[in-house]
């Protein structure tokens, strides 16, 4: 299991590194996926939102992952590595 909760702009890089460290059956969690609404509301601009948005695009487009985002707290992404 990998838990990501660091510099938000770097989330895509953490995912890339996490994929190198894991194999099928692993879980990758990422905190703050809603980022106080900055990831889905055009009216909210917050540093780090672009990194979280890119991370979200990657976890849902990567065929090696089965992912979901739970709106718990400030949002939690759960990705299960299937390939």
Q: Where are the domains of the chain?
A: 2-81
Name the CATH topology of 2-81.
Rossmann fold (3.40.50)
Express each pLDDT in 7-34 by its tens digit.
Answer: 999 999 999 999 999 999 999 999 999 9
pLDDT at site 43: 63
pLDDT at site 53: 93
What pTM was computed for the model? 0.92
Distance CA 26, CA 50 (A): 26
Distance CA 30, CA 5 (A): 6
- Tokens in use for 40? 């889905």
**Band (37; pLDDT cuts 50, 70, 90):** confident
């Amino acid at each position: 299991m990998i838990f990501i909760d660091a510099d938000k702009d770097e989330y895509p890089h953490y995912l890339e590194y996490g994929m190198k460290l894991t194999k099928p059956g692993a879980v990758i969690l990422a905190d703050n996926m809603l980022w106080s609404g900055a990831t889905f509301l055009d009216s909210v601009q917050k540093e780090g939102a672009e990194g979280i948005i890119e991370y979200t695009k990657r976890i849902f487009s990567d065929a090696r992952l089965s992912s979901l985002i739970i709106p718990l707290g400030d949002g939690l992404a759960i990705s299960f590595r299937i390939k």
